[in-house]
Amino acid sequence: MDALTKACAWLFPQYCQLCAQPLNAGQQVCAHCISAFTGINGALQENLLMRADIQRQFPLRYIDGLQALDWYRPPLSTWLKQYKYQQRMYRQVALSSLLTHHFARLANQPDWHWPQLVAPIPLAPSRLIWRGFNQVVRLWQDALPQQLFAANLLRRRHSTRTQARLGARQRRKNLTNAFSVHANVHNLDIALVDDVLTTGATLDSAAKLLKAAGARSVSAWVVCLTAKT
């Protein structure tokens, strides 16, 4: 194997990341594993907040609908970490293919309707520069209809402190006035996308702002939900 072939194999391995069977170039999860993946949403609910256990864990005041692929657990937690912190792009391809399938299933449900806009939670400018790009945007842009995407709908007003080390109350305080809205959202249904929902404080504060700006409904779509231990 020459060096270039080795490098390509490392960057984009050609086997299914769930069952390890060989795959065609460009795929990272085989069709069988994609359709067999059930995650958190086996029975496919159009809104996870209808589940009492999830509603109890995430007291979201301004969010009307919730979608997630799974709890924050392997393999998805591992894939997210390797994508975000080790730049393993093939993990992004795998995650996006699971998201694509998930939303295709939802779109087949009789009561499902797409929002008019899908917007990512923006990174603080300092973190954007450090990482080079907003990885969450890439994850979702590859999975959803392009025309829905409003990448700059929300902007950060100022560099908020890293949320990860703060408690729920501090998170809410930290987020007051963190975002601004940059489009007319009056009477629109909007979905906010992110990678992981931990307390939901970030998403809820962005939803509060969008509601104040006239949005009809705000949903949160994430890859994983962090279960309270």
Identity of the residue, 33 or 68, whose beta carbon is nearer to Zn ion in the bound complex: 33
Phi-psi region of 200 (alpha: psi -120 to 50; beta: other; left: phi over 0): left
Smallest gap from residue 23 Cβ to Zn ion (A)? 8
CB of 20 to Zn ion, least distance (A): 7
CA angle 120, 77, 179 (to 5 degrees): 25
Within residues 8-37, the interface with Zn ion by CB under 5 A covers 16, 18-19, 30, 33
* Residue 35 CA, distance from chain mean position: 19
**Comparison of 9 and 19: residue with beta carbon closer to Zn ion:** 19
Shortest distance, CB of residue 127 to Zn ion, whole angstroms? 34
What whole-number distance in Å separates Cα of residue 87 and Cα of residue 32? Answer: 26
Residue nearer to Zn ion on the CB measure, 19 or 128: 19
148 binds Zn ion (CB under 5 A): no
Which lies closer to Zn ion via its Cβ, residue 28 or residue 219? 28
What's the gap between Cα 71 and its chain centre? 12
Cα separation of 74 and 57, whole Å? 20
Considering the complex, what minimum distance in angstroms separates the CB of residue 139 from Zn ion? 20
Q: Residues 30 to 89: which contact Zn ion by CB under 5 A?
A: 30, 33
- From start to end of the chain, where are the E strands? 65-71, 117-120, 154-156, 179-181, 189-197, 217-225
Contact positions vs Zn ion (CB under 5 A): 16, 18-19, 30, 33
